[in-house]
Amino acid sequence: MSELRGSTHAKRAAYDLRQRIVKGELPGGTRLYEVALAEELEISRTPVREAMSRLAEEGLLERARGGGFVVRSFTYGDVIDAIELRGVLEGTALRLAAEAGAPDDKIKQIKGLIAKIDAGFDTDGAPPNLEQYSGLNSEFHDDIAALCPSSIVRSELERVKSLPFASPSAFVFRRRESKAMEQSIIIAQAQHRAMVEAIERREGARAEALAREHARIARQNLEQKTLDPEELDPALALIVD
């Protein structure tokens, strides 16, 4: 088996298959055969089935008619739609958080996180650390989602974010020279601040609208990247169309 992660064969196999799918090695529509995979991974069919089952729960595989699994196909349009959907669900989560009210200490903590992101760009000449930004940005999105009082909404949002191209930091820029990147992050941070403020002031509709618009940054980055042949994002590897 090629990966060591996880404690059981099933988990390792799931990890392995997940990697192959998001890297595009297993394109959408590919039928997965238990026997072939079992031989390839040098395990028996049982953990392979278990692994495929887990990936089906994640939405990366679909159960085929007559049994078996197929790698789910995602078109470019699906990526756009998934980002839009993430915006809608984050918007709902924030609206509910605003309507219910959020504890001051959590708000304070999130404001600290925003400041920390700012600090990463106050480097005056030194190139900003985009890896760090990506991580902190994900953390921010997780934190504001946690403010939502509805576990149902939280879990459905989590589910959509688990799609590799729908996560909040899927399409952050890679090339630090980019002027567009700098602007994009300035705008994003302004929206981050506004979202927290809206929740704080219990302005539900505003929080919802901001979250939706905020998700469109990802869409914009994606569309720009698609035009630039040097910026092929690994998160797009599993796109069929």
Partner DNA sequence: ACGCCCGCCGATGTATACATTGCGATGTAT
Partner DNA sequence: ATACATCGCAATGTATACATCGGCGGGCGT
**What are the residues binding its own copies (CB under 8 A)?**
49-50, 53, 56-57, 77-78, 81-82, 84-85, 88-89, 92, 96, 150-153, 156, 160
Minimum distance, C-beta of residue 78 to DNA, in the bound complex (Å): 25
User: Number of H helices and number of E strands within the chain?
Assistant: 9, 3
Q: Of the two residues 70 and 85, which places its CB atom closer to its own copies in the complex?
A: 85
With CB under 5 to 8 Å by kind, the binding choice for 7 among its own copies, DNA, none is DNA
- The single residue among 34, 81, 84, 182 that binds DNA, judged by CB under 7 A, is 34
Residue type, 111: K
Minimum distance, C-beta of residue 216 to its own copies, in the bound complex (Å): 14
Structure tokens at 19: 């990697």
- Sheet arrangement for strand 31-32: 31-32, 69-71, 61-63
Q: Of the two residues 10 and 163, which places its CB atom closer to DNA in the complex?
A: 10
Q: Of the two residues 153 and 235, which places its CB atom closer to its own copies in the complex?
A: 153
- Give the span between the Cα atoms of 221 and 192, in whole angstroms: 17
How far CA 3 is from CA of 49, 103, 145, in Å, comes to 17, 42, 32
For every residue of 203-227, DSSP letters joined together read -HHHHHHHHHHHHHHHHHHHHHHHH
Minimum distance, C-beta of residue 12 to DNA, in the bound complex (Å): 7
With CB under 5 to 8 Å by kind, the binding choice for 35 among DNA, its own copies, none is DNA
Q: Is 47 in the site for DNA (CB under 7 A)?
A: yes
Minimum distance, C-beta of residue 22 to DNA, in the bound complex (Å): 21
- Give the span between the Cα atoms of 122 and 185, in whole angstroms: 13
